[in-house]
Structures are given as structure tokens and as C-alpha cells.
A and B are shown apart, each in its own frame.
Chain A
Amino acid sequence: MSPALIAALPFLGALVPGLAARAGRDAAALAAASATLLALLGLMSHAPAVLAGETVLAQADWLPALGLSAGFRIDGLSLMFAGLILGIGLLIILYARFYLAAGESLDRFLTYLLLFQGAMTGIVLSENLLMMLVFWELTSLSSFLLIGWWGDRAEGRQGARMALAVTGGGGLALIAGVLVLGRIAGSYDLSAILAQKDVIQASPLYPLALALILLGAFTKSAQFPFHFWLPHAMAAPTPVSAYLHSATMVKAGLFLMARLWPVLAGTPEWTAIVATAGLVTMLVGAKIAFFKDDLKAILAFSTVSHLGLITFLLGLGTPEAAAAAMLHILAHASFKAALFMVAGIVDHETHTRDIRRLGGLRRAMPLTFAIAAVATLSMAGIPPLNGFLSKELMLENAAHVTPLVALLATLGALLSVGYSLRFLAHAFLGAPRGDARAHDPAPGLWAAPALLAAVVVVSGLVPMATFGPLVDAAASATTGGTVALKIYHWHGLNAAALWMSLAAIGGGLMMLGGFPRLRALWDSAPRPEAKAIFDAAMAGLTAATRGLTAAVHDGTLARGLAATVAVIVGLGAYAFVTGPHSPGSRDLLPLQAAPVIGWAVMTLAALATLARHRDRVLSLLLTGIVGLLLSAGFAWLSAPDLALTQITVEVVTILLMLLALNFLPPETPRESRPARHLRDGALAAAAGLGAGLLAFALMTREAAFAPVSAFHWAQSKPGAGGTNAVNTIIIDFRGYDTYGEIIVLGIAALVIFALAASVLSSRRAVERLQGLRMGQDAGDPHPPMLVAGTRFLMPLALMVGVFIYFRGHNLPGGGFVAGLVVSIALLLQYMASGFVWSERRQRLQPQVLIAAGVTTATLTGAAAWAMGWPFLTSGYRYLHLWPLDEIELTTAALFDLGVFLCVLGAVMLALSSLSRFAQHTEDREEAR
């Protein structure tokens, strides 16, 4: 079976429990178990080859450009770990089936569990480090989901988030570390990396890569100072604790260290960091475990301590130590998983995990007691169990380092004896306390731990036959050489390890005896509470980010605009001064009296608007004056089309805004502080200065290249059939721009329409509308003279509009201006006779006008397709009808018609939307 399939099976299995849920718990558990079993069998099929020293590889491309490939490998190390994961996984599935309470969703639990299992298997079977990162993060994620299984409990939520924060953060460091390592080695494939020990260790980036990778490993394996998350992960259901947080996930960091051992280990940095961290963790974990009262907490801190032990061994950097580490991984997995399950059983039966309320359970639960005894004695390192074997090897290795290390290692072993015996003694021995109705559980619950206990015994009695080959293969893969570890009980009287063990056992017994006094000492000593620190840090971080976000993004418009303007002016100035500039030398226009006067009035009006902007009606009129004079300026400066457009748009805009002022307050209150005025004034002045200077620089120079408009000028009559170059540009050469422009108008009208509808459907808004008092000062709302005047103007205006429309191609005019002129005429009707009156007489719906305009323009453009020409290609023809002069027919005129209709419709729709507001105000219009 391909290694890829072995890794994939648990994922595939994760899909099944949900589907099998209908058929009951057994079906779900069986489905999950079969996926795991299949994977295990597939793995075993490779065992003979791997144990003989081969490495099985399977590669597929995923993202070669990144160096990421879907590569899988099975060597001794991955065989051992994968066997652990899948084997214990099977037992856990069995246990979980009976452990979970009736109301809980076993299929969802198994789905998460299998997801985790697949991810973990993926880590150990990965050939490509980048792919391993994928699985690494997946284990953090699935662990998060499993720890938070009882999400309604605060401890579950907090434990899950703490675990995710620490392991996720470490994962990010690992990403960086792997990327650096890959850069050094030139590849992310293990086969390539593991062969480059010298290159890697000689590289200046080695310390950085080492630090980052170790950060990832230490966070995952709960090494000091990152150990504090593990005990809080005990909020998870016991199967999860047994599986993830003792046997598998926390070993991922150890796996990584073993996997990269060939290229990272052997340097002083490695030994200093890893061995020290391991030793410290071993001691700290053991010390805390001794004084805990929750059964699972004891086991949790004990796990921390044992992980530290393994780390210490890996840190020593010698093949013997590495082999001892492998042995302890196996041994620890067997007895710790069994112990967690025992804790779960005790909890299940007595409904408490507090060791102070337990006692004498050996009579009530003899079978459980037997299992617990085997496992705890192994944990304490008592022969002839497997725990003794590996601990002895550890002590032996420690003895070879320095006396201090040997002493500390002995101390660690001593403490582990202490808490192990405490676990056994205070829960199972002595006088019965607590629930006397407790009894041994159903076989489903004790089968798995019993099997594990059997493994503990057997592997302790015949280690070389059972664990031996596996340990050798794993250690060989780890060290890159061939290792054959001799595992046996009696090392001889000369072995330091023997005396250290005896000292440990003796000391542990004494500690157990003196427990009450030691406990009193411990309780009185101050202890930093890791969770409290972590919670405080998290709360502080969250509060800080919240405060910063709220402070920076306070929702005010002016802040964003002020920042924008400041950056624009600043960067614009920066760009200018950092580049070569030579001023232009174009001839400038001479000053003439009339334009200067017009300019002066315009400028004064602008300044007046600024000064009196609080009086809204006045400032609006002043703005209108500015616009009108601007239009005059355009006319003087040879832009008649512009002048026409500017003036008509100006009129419509001012009318629109005057009408709008009916619905807004007429005055702006004084509410800005002087400092704010100063800031805004400074920004405005800077922007104005920049704009003015830029404009002057541009006006006084010629273009660097001939402008494209020379073509437009030359081709206006022959190519586009019109003499008004501006108009031909708008509806022919750059007609596509105009197409977009009329659609902008159309969309604007639609937005206004929809806005009005939504505002008028809001009760609050309608009430406010009705409260507005309008037009008290106007006297007669519909003065007869105005009415008569506008009636008279209407046909004239229509004629002017049509005239402007037709002449636009050759003389100033065109569809826009025509549309605006006609809409002004209609506007005047509104103003004179009222909205209601005008609405009743309006036949053409504005929306239809807009649609007609867009459609006309689109179809005119599309008609060119029929001739094989691109969109908006125009054609023209001259028509000779006697006795008229030659008439020119252009398709562009049709396009201009579309423009006309769209402009008309848009303005009308906007105004009719406004009129709907007016209908709700207090003085209703009366029909005339």
C-alpha cells in the first residue's frame, strides 16, 4: 500500500462516521476503526523491508515552483511513530465508543479524531517538509476542535484557545524555520536535506533555522517555558487526552527533532538548547505533578516531564541517547495512555477525579487497580517493566555527561517515583473513601488499557524481541547510521545507573511518606500561575488591539480625508523635488480688462462662499456665480461646447441643490474648534498651492510629444463627418468614454430612485418629512406669471433643444446640451406648477427614457458588428433631397440620440424622486 494511501485513509475514514451515524454508535465506531486498521495493516506490510533498513518513498508533484511536493516516506522512525499513532488510535476508538455519554455525538467526535489521526500520520510520513507543515497545522486545528469539544464549558473554550495560540504561534515560527532550512539546503525534500549535514551546520543561517524549528518543536511538545498549555488541554474528554496529549500530538515535536537530528544535532547550540530545555522540563513537570490533586493533572504534568526526558536524550546528541529516546517514546506511550484511560474509568465510576476524595479503590475495582498498578510502576521505573528499561538507559546516558546532570536526572527520576506511587497509593490503596458503589467498568472500557498494560509487561520482560527491532530501526533513521541498542535489565553493579535508580526509588518512597509536610511547604510557597499570566497577556493584547483599532478607525470622515490630502500633497511634493525639472517657455496670454474683471468676481465669489458657507442658500448662490463665470471663462478661452455644457449643468445642479435645501437645515452651526480650523486651513492651503503650481507648470510648457488630438483635428471632417472637433471626439473617436458616461448618469438616477424609495419606506423618515415646514415665505406657491411664462417657454425650449441636438456635430451643441436644455424646460414646469401637476402630465416614464437611451446607444454601437466593424464604429452618408441642401446622416447622430434620451431620463428621474419627498411635506401641492 502506498504511503500516500496510508496517510490518506484516516482522512477518508473521517467522512464515514457521519454517514454511518444512522446505524448507531457501533457502526460509526466500526467504520472509523476499519479505516485505522486498514492503514495499520498497510503500514505493517512495509515493516519487513523497513526493519531491514530500506526506506519506502512515494512522490507526486503538487507545487513544484515552491518546492512543495506530495512526497511520503516510510523509514524506521516513521514506521515506529505511525505504528504508535494507528495502533493506539484503534484502542482509543474502542475506548471512546464506550466513554462518551449517551447524548453526545460520537460520529462528530470520531470525525475530528480521524482528522487528527490523518494529520498526525501525515506528519510522520512526510517526505517534503513543506507538506509536513500542512499536516502540522492541521493537528493544531483538530486539537483545537477536540479540546473545545465541550464548548459550553469555559475551561474547554479557554483550554482550546490557549493550545491553539501556543501551538499555532509555534507553527508560524516553524514555517519560518523550514523556509530558512530549505534555502540553505536548496530543497525541501528530506532525502536531499538529510544528506547535507555539513552544509547546513556550516551556514550562517543555521542558528536562526535551529531556533525557529526548535520553537515549533518545543511549543508542540510542551517543553519549558511553553509547557503551560498542556494541562489546560485536559479539559478535553479523556480519550482525547489519552490520544493526543500523551501518545501522539505532543510527541510531534519530538518526532521533528528526531527527524532533523541528522542535520541539526551534534553542534554545541543543539546540545545546549535542547538538552537543557529537556532537563529543566523534566524537573519542573515532575515537581508540579507531585503536588496536583486532579488525576488528569498529575498525568498531564507527568507527560510534560517525560517529554522533557525524551527531549533531554535527543539533546545529548549521541546515537545511544537517541536510541534510548526512541525506547522511551514507546514505553511512555504504552503506560501513559493506559493511565489516562484508567483516570477516565475512575472518573466514570466515582464521578470525581480529585485524588483527595479517592482511596481504597483496589477493593472496589480490582481489575482497574491491576492495570493501574502495572502502569504506575512502569512510570516510576520499577523493574521488570518497560519503564524501568528506558529510565535506566536515560540515567546511564546522563551519568556520562557531568555529575551535575547526573544529579539532576536522578532528582527527576526521584520525583517521578514520587508522583507515580502517589497516584497509585492515594487513589487505590488505603482506606476506602468516596463512592463505595464504584465497580469495574464494562469490558469496552477496560479492554484497551488492559491490552496496553499487557504490552508494558511483555515489553518489559522481553524487550529485545518486542520493542528491540523497532527501536533499532527508528534510531538508525534518526541518527543516519545503524544502531543496535542492547536493552536489558541488569547493567551490572558498576553501572552508575543502578545506584541512581536505587537512590531514586528510595528517595521517592521517602517523599511519599513525607507528603503532608511537603504539601504544606508547597502550598505556602508563592507560585506563578501560568494560566493567569497567559489569560492576562491575552486579555491585555485583545484590549490593546481593540483600543488601537477604535482609536485609529474612529469613523470620522475628516480623519480619512485629512490623511489622504496630507499624503497626496506630501508625496506629490516629494516626487517633484526628487526629479529634474526645467520650467517651460511658452508664450503666455496677455491680460485683458474684461476677463480680469470676470476672474476677480469669480475669485471673490469663491472667497465669499468660503467665508459665508454657514448660510447655505447664500453660499449656494455664490457657487452658482462661480460656475457661471467659469462658463464665461470657457467661452472666452475658445471652448464653446464646454461653456454650453458648464452653464446648463450648473443651472440644473443649482436648481437641484436648492430643491434639496428644502429638506435640509438651512444653516450650518458653528461647531469646530479653532485648532481644527487651523489644521483644515493648512491642509487646504497646501493642496491649493500644489494644484496651482502644478497647473502653472503645465500651462507654461509645450508637450514633449505631438498630442494625439492632432489626428482628431485632421480627421474630424473626413473620418467622422463633422466639423466640431470636440463633438466628434466625444461621440466618435472616444465615443466609448461617452457610452460609459451616459451609463453613469443612468445609474445615478437609479440610485436616487432606489434611495428615495427606501427612505420613504422608513416610518421615521416620513415622520420627519411631514414635520418639515416649507415655503411659508413664498406667498403664493404657484404665481400665475411664472406659470404662464413657463408654459410659453416650453415649446421654445424644446425647439432650441432639438436645434442644438442637430447642429452639434458641426457647431457647438450636441446631445448632452440638448438633453439638459429640455430637462431645464421641464424643470421649470415642476417649479411653476408643482410636482403633482407635472407628474400627472408626464407621459414618458423616466426609467423608460434611460433604458431607451442606453439601448439606443448600445444598439447603434452593436450595429457596426453586422458590418464586421468593432463596437461604436460610425458611418455617414450625405443625403441629397431636393430642394434642401445636402443633409448629412451619421450613425453618430443616433448615438447622440441615445445620449440625449439618457440625459433627459436621468435628470427627470432624479427630480421626480425629489418630488416624491415633497409630496409628504406639510404643505401639499394642490392641483391646478
Chain B
Amino acid sequence: MEALIAIAIGLFTAVGIYLTLRLRSFPVILGLTFLSYAVNLFIFAAGRLKTGAEPIVGTTELPTDPLPQALVLTAIVISFGMTAVIVMMAIGSYLELGHDRVDPDRDEGAQ
């Protein structure tokens, strides 16, 4: 099963990177979402996988590692906040500029 999880992580990373390299803002946001799936799964998996061993005191003797779960929780919430911000920026720049390309126009002048 670990192999499948690893494949999933790799796939999400690949999809995420590919989409992040697109020219428009919305695919970039989708790509970042996939990257966060990948890394959340990665952090969780790095704590080693177990089934039926919820870390509730009293239900089991050998639980999964609760710390990676706490870390993932934190990471999920933080990336939610970030996603909301970048979505709003995408909307804002689309409304201001009239297009949703992520790169500067010729006439904006490169730095």
C-alpha cells in the first residue's frame, strides 16, 4: 500500500508542478492546490502508515504518530488561507488588467 501512496504523492506533485508552470492564473492556483495535497499526504505518510490505530487515548495501544497529523492540520489551514488570498489576487488582477495572464505585458515594461 505504501507504494501506492508514494505514487499518489508523486503524481500530485507532478500535476501540481505542471499546472503551476502554466501561463494563466487559474491553472496556477489549481497546481498549487495539488501541491498542497501532495505535501500534506507526504507529511502524513512520513509518520508511517497504520490502519485502525486512531491516536485517541484509550482506544488503542499502538497508535499512529499524532504529531504529523497535527502538522498536516496546521498546514491545511495555512494553505487554505493562502489559497483564498491568491484567488482574490487573481480576480483582482483580472479585473484591473482585463486578462488573467500571470506574466507582464510587453508595454508594462520588464524590470
Residues of A within 8 A of B (CB): 549-550, 553-558, 561-562, 565, 586, 588-592, 595-596, 599, 602-603, 606-607, 609-610, 613, 616, 619-620, 623, 626-627, 630, 633-634, 636-642, 645-646, 649, 652-653, 656-657, 660-661, 663-665, 668-669, 671-672, 680-681, 683-685, 687-696, 698-700, 702, 707-709, 712-713, 716-717, 723-726, 729-730, 734, 737-738, 741, 744-745, 747-749, 751-752, 755-756, 758-759, 762, 764-765, 768-769, 810-812, 816, 903, 906, 910, 913-914, 917
Contacts and interface: CB of A to CB of B under 8 A. Distances in A.
A695 B5 contact: yes
B21 A692 contact: no
B104 A737 contact: no
Contacts of B80: 649, 652-653, 745
Interface in B52-108: 52-58, 63-67, 69-70, 72-74, 76-78, 80-85, 87-92, 94-96, 98, 100, 102-104, 108
Interface string B19-60: 111111111111001100110111011101111111111100
Could you tell me the dominant secondary structure of chain A's interface residues? helix
B95 A713 contact: no
B51 A716 contact: no
A607 B104 CA distance: 30
Contacts of A687: 13-14, 17
Contacts of B50: 589, 637-638
A713 B10 contact: no
A613 B16 CA distance: 11
**Residue among B6, B12, B17 with most chain A CB within 10 A:** B17
B95 A680 contact: no
A-B pairs, top 7 by smallest CB distance, nearest first, are A692-B10, A688-B14, A748-B81, A589-B1, A684-B18, A696-B6, A709-B67
B55 A642 contact: no
Contacts of A588: 1-3
A589 B53 CA distance: 13
Given A637-B49, A759-B95, A603 B7 contact: yes
A639 B18 contact: no
B30 A623 contact: yes
Given A664-B26, A665-B94, 19 more contacts: A591-B1, A596-B4, A603-B7, A607-B11, A613-B19, A664-B94, A672-B23, A684-B15, A688-B10, A688-B13, A688-B15, A690-B13, A691-B13, A695-B10, A695-B42, A699-B5, A699-B45, A737-B74, A738-B74
A756 B7 contact: no
A412 to B, nearest CB: 53
B34 A557 contact: no
Contacts of A756: 88, 92
Nearest to B7: A692
A751 B57 CA distance: 40
A688 B4 contact: no
A639 B111 contact: no
Contact of B74 (A619, A683, A741): A741
B9 A691 contact: yes
Given A638-B51, A664-B100, A713-B66, A723 B56 contact: yes
11 contacts: A586-B48, A588-B1, A588-B2, A613-B27, A639-B54, A656-B83, A668-B22, A680-B21, A692-B11, A709-B65, A764-B96
Contact of B77 (A623, A649, A707): A649
A725 B67 CA distance: 8
Nearest to A700: B2
A114 B85 CA distance: 56
B2 to A, nearest CB: 4
Contacts of A665: 26, 94, 100
B18 A620 contact: no
A638 B33 CA distance: 23
Given A606-B15, A688-B11, A660 B37 contact: no
A599 B61 CA distance: 28
Nearest to B98: A768
A603 B8 contact: yes
A640 B54 contact: yes
Given A553-B111, A555-B110, A657-B87, A759 B48 contact: no
A557 B25 CA distance: 10
A708 B48 contact: no
A671 B57 contact: no
B11 A589 contact: no
Contact of A660 (B2, B23, B90): B90
A811 B56 contact: yes
Contacts of A603: 7-8, 11
B5 A555 contact: no
A290 B67 CA distance: 87
A723 B73 CA distance: 18
B82 A748 contact: yes
A51 B108 CA distance: 68
Given A636-B51, A638-B55, A729 B34 contact: no
Contacts of A595: 1
A556 B78 CA distance: 26
A780 B40 CA distance: 40
**Residue among A707, A725, A914 with most chain B CB within 10 A:** A725
Contacts of A555: 103-104, 108, 110-111
Contacts of B18: 610, 680-681, 683-684
B64 A638 contact: yes
B64 A707 contact: no
Contacts of B82: 744, 748
A282 B100 CA distance: 67
Contacts of B87: 656-657, 660
**Residue among B3, B6, B16, B56 with most chain A CB within 10 A:** B56
A699 B2 contact: yes
B8 A602 contact: yes
B51 to A, nearest CB: 6
Nearest to A714: B57
A613 B6 CA distance: 23
Contact of B27 (A627, A630, A668, A690): A668
A390 B103 CA distance: 70
**Residue among A633, A637, A664, A723 with most chain B CB within 10 A:** A637
A713 B54 CA distance: 11
A612 to B, nearest CB: 11
A745 B103 contact: no
**Residue among B10, B52, B104 with most chain A CB within 10 A:** B10
A755 to B, nearest CB: 5
Contact of A663 (B81, B94, B102): B94
A626 B10 contact: no
A668 B28 CA distance: 11
**Residue among B9, B23, B58, B70 with most chain A CB within 10 A:** B70
A339 B29 CA distance: 74
A602 B34 CA distance: 12
Given A663-B94, A699-B5, A558 B56 contact: no
B21 A684 contact: yes
A653 B29 CA distance: 11
B95 A645 contact: no
**Residue among B29, B49, B52, B82 with most chain A CB within 10 A:** B49
A653 B110 contact: no
A605 to B, nearest CB: 10
A586 B77 CA distance: 31
